[in-house]
Structure 1
Amino acid sequence: MPVIDLPLEQLYAYKGRNPKPEDFDAYWERALAEMRAVDPQVEIIPSEFKVPFAECFHLYFTGVRGARIHVKYVRPKHTVGKHPALLQFHGYAYNSGDWNDKLLYAALGFSVFSLDARGQGGLSEDPGGVKGTTLNGHIVRGLDDHPDHMLFRHIFLDTAQLAGIVMGMPEVDPDQVGATGWSQGGALTLACAALEPRIRRLAPVYPFLSDYQRVWEMDLAKDAYAELKSYFRFFDPRHKREKEVFTKLGYIDLQHLMDRIQGEVLMATGLMDTICPPSSQFALYNKINSVKQIEIYPDYGHEHLPEFHDLALQFLMKL
């Protein structure tokens, strides 16, 4: 079998390279306390998009630092009692997508909530206000400021805040909420379940935002991770701050959050992935302590993985 990374047996043992800050747990408890102190001011506006079996809405809430966050919300009609819900998260720089890709789960009796990540391709706000570069990516946004101002901290909190809002809705069964997404969406699926451990089932695909130092050492700081190389070239060309930089990125490195997940995980990865290399994904997968399974695609990279949408559907339907 061709390889672009470690052999498969070594991937299953790999524990990651990127440093974990000593105050990591305190950092995230402080972040969650800030999130819980926010009045979300939820607003639900009917959409012009209509279908016979579901109702479609734009949902807005206020996240940390005052950002108004947008979510596409599809609710099935004619359900009796509480029903399950599914949170959907999109790829890097994209948005929540069209309404039609939420309708399958709505037809199955799920309420569906698709988040627009703040400051990316959708309708969610990014209030800004950070010191340092804002060029060329959200991983490095806030890297030259206090760690509490890092943008992915706020985006991770948005996912958990949305989950809490959904679980508090009268029509939703809070014990039957799942999450899914591909690439950045896979990362946000995992972040959501780590920061809101009541998420029952999660189906992430080739998750982004893990083991930054490993990505850089493999010379794969390009494409989705290009901002890592750009940051060093512009702001630390002799890498005198390399250890400091990667340690600070450790606050938003998903592998260090994985021991918080309690829900059941079905993950997928392609062993030819040069966007989010397999070892960076196994770094987080190997730290998940809940019930988990990973589907391996030896010949596939960061692309459509045949049959996995069907596998995820069957997995999430168990909610």
Structure 2
Amino acid sequence: MDAAVPGERLCRHRRRPRLRDLGADPGGVEPHRRRRQPPRSWRTPRSGRPAPSTSSPTSTGPTPLVIDEGALARIEEAAASVDEERLDQRAASVEESDLITIVYTSGTTGRPKGCAISHSGFLRGIDGPLAIIGERISASDSPSTVLMLPLAHIFGRVIEASTLLSRHVLVHEPDMTHLVQAFATHRPTYIGSVPRVFEKVHASASAAARAKGERGAKVFAAAEATAVEWARTDSPGLGLRVRHALFDRLVYRKLRAALGDECRTIISGGSALSEHLSDFFAGVGPEIIEGYGLTEVGVTSANPPGRTRVGTVRGAHAGHPHGHRRPG
């Protein structure tokens, strides 16, 4: 169940048979094209937050559950009266074609739509990325992640579910102003986020260097160029190895510390990560894995670790000139 519904109103849905085999349905009907308006309790103000529902006996719509307004406590309280036998019966009655979730698109390119996804479609969406990145994200003794991928997108949902199925520690951090604190507190071994977060980390490091004066700015610029060069070669020469080791002491270890000092893998999704920024972070230390998801049909994919091709989400041949290296 989605706790909050973006957009002006919760969208109604209808099935589109041509996409049913993929386990997803992009057929949210825009409310302004419907003559009959949804029940009042389903409407939300323009801020995007669900409006208080009416409690009259004639109200037919469900009451929205909002996490920030105690939804989890209400669910826990309601679940206390459900015994194990009833729980087992309900679980056994679930069919592969049954609805598991409705993912609401973000609305950046139009009104938000609710994409209905079945159990089988969602699990198929998990199988691919988990088979590709599962071993890498589980490499640590205590795998954990701080997840900042939007859940109004199928790729974020898939990474979230993959983390839970792998029994890793999962931390959601929706507020970018608390990033450094979240990384320092939870020390994630891998991070799933939109490119904006990594752009912000890079910009903050660059600004801190410039604040130290001209010398600090030059050191950071040289360190950045060295990191990019390191990421784009499979056989660094002696000079590059010396420069990389020097800047690892001066710059890179501080950037790794800003990510919690335990991060070995970065999963970027939601939009394209620039080639320069991808190579920069790969040269600093973490391996970069780019992911893709099409919410409307439940399709997800990710780059195979060790065979990354920057700017794509398909497998790349070993030895590609943009293959990322770890510091050595």
Return the TM-score normalized by structure 2.
0.26
Give the structure with the higher percent strand: 1
Q: Between Structure 1 and Structure 2, whose CA radius of gyration is higher? A: 2
Give the structure with the higher percent helix: 2
Return the TM-score normalized by structure 1.
0.27
